Amino acid sequence: MLGLTLDPVCFTIGTHPIYWYGVMMAAAFAASLLHLTLVGRRAGYDSAFASDLVFWCMVGGIVGARLAYVAANWEYFSIHLVRIVRIDQGGLIYYGGFFGAGFALWLFASRRGERLAAVLDLVVTALPLGHALGRIGCFWNGCCYGVPSSGPWAVVMEGVARLPVQLFEAAGNLALWIALTIVFLRRPRRGTVLGLYCIGYSVLRFLMEYLRGDPRLNWGPYTDAQWLSAALCATGLFILLRTRGRADDHAESGR
């Protein structure tokens, strides 16, 4: 068992604490911007396009993720309204951010006259990288924790030895990031990378839910995240089947 004491505060400025969660979220967006700049250049996009893309994703993702978290915990936030905006202390639901960012990207592509499928293919190569760093922030913040465990990988959180499921998911996301980037650089049919992401992440998240120890919302035998994962996996399969019928729709230039 790892005798690691987790402190959610990274450092302080005067009397104001700066939390690891906020630091890792900032690192996630910085890493995503760097990735999209480098990979986007290979697909014919300039650095200004990448920075605009990250900004739209950031705004849509954070708003969607926070709204989902607030809705899931409305009993608490209804009497602590001022804390709705305190995202630096944690409290984001990934699937809310996923759909929020998706809506923002639809608006972005429409305004810029870009093909939505091409934009989504590019964005999802960076998504697992940012997500992995965000999960590391969850680990230091002590949220999204794992089930109690006495195994060698267990970490003591608030007096309870638990699996560091946040780090397990971070590792899975890093592997997904590498795989998707390799596929994207081979210029597959548009929609292929998006479909692979939907399948890859949904399988990872479905399995990780069995290791989560924080309160979960169950619908029948599965959690709400597992049901959403199943729907996302089906969507990914549908996207891949659709791409097979477009043999001439390769991402030659990304636009």
Q: Using one digit for the tens of pLDDT, what is the confidence trace for 72-131?
A: 778 788 787 877 877 766 677 877 888 898 899 999 888 888 888 889 999 999 999 999
What's the confidence (pLDDT) of residue 4? Answer: 62
Helix (H) or strand (E) holding 174: helix 165-185
Segments making up each domain of the chain, as ranges: 9-244
Nearest-Å Rg of the Cα atoms of the chain is 19
Q: Are strands 16-19 and 222-223 parallel, antiparallel or unpaired?
A: unpaired
Neighbours of 27 (CB within 10 A): 15
Contacts of 153 (CB under 8 A, 6+ apart): 2, 163, 164
What's the confidence (pLDDT) of residue 252? Answer: 45
Least confident of 19-28, 149-158, 243-252: 243-252
Q: pTM higher than 0.75, yes or no?
A: yes
Residues in the chain: 255
Smallest CA-to-CA distance from 131 within 232, 209, 32 is with 32
C-alpha angle with apex 153: 21 to 139, nearest 5 degrees? 5
Burial label for 110, CB within 10 Å (0-12, 13-18, 19+), is exposed
Angle 47-72/116-141 helices, nearest 10 degrees?
50
Query: At residue 31, does pLDDT exceed 80?
Result: yes
Model confidence at 249, pLDDT cuts 50, 70, 90, reads low
Model confidence at 5, pLDDT cuts 50, 70, 90, reads low
Nearest-angstrom CA–CA distance, 206 and 238: 19
User: Is the Cβ–Cβ distance between 43 and 251 less than 8 Å?
Assistant: yes
Query: At residue 247, does pLDDT exceed 80?
Result: no
Q: Using one digit for the tens of pLDDT, what is the confidence trace for 169-207?
A: 999 999 999 999 999 999 899 999 999 999 999 999 999
Q: Whole-number mean pLDDT of the chain?
A: 86
Cα 71 to its chain centre, rounded Å, is: 19
Query: At residue 248, does pLDDT exceed 80?
Result: no
What's the confidence (pLDDT) of residue 80? Answer: 76
Query: At residue 136, does pLDDT exceed 60?
Result: yes
Mean pLDDT for the stretch of residues 41-51:
86
Query: At residue 56, does pLDDT exceed 70?
Result: yes
User: Is the Cβ–Cβ distance between 34 and 47 less than 8 Å?
Assistant: no
Nearest-angstrom CA–CA distance, 196 and 239: 9
Given the structure tokens 């998504």, which residue do they identify?
127
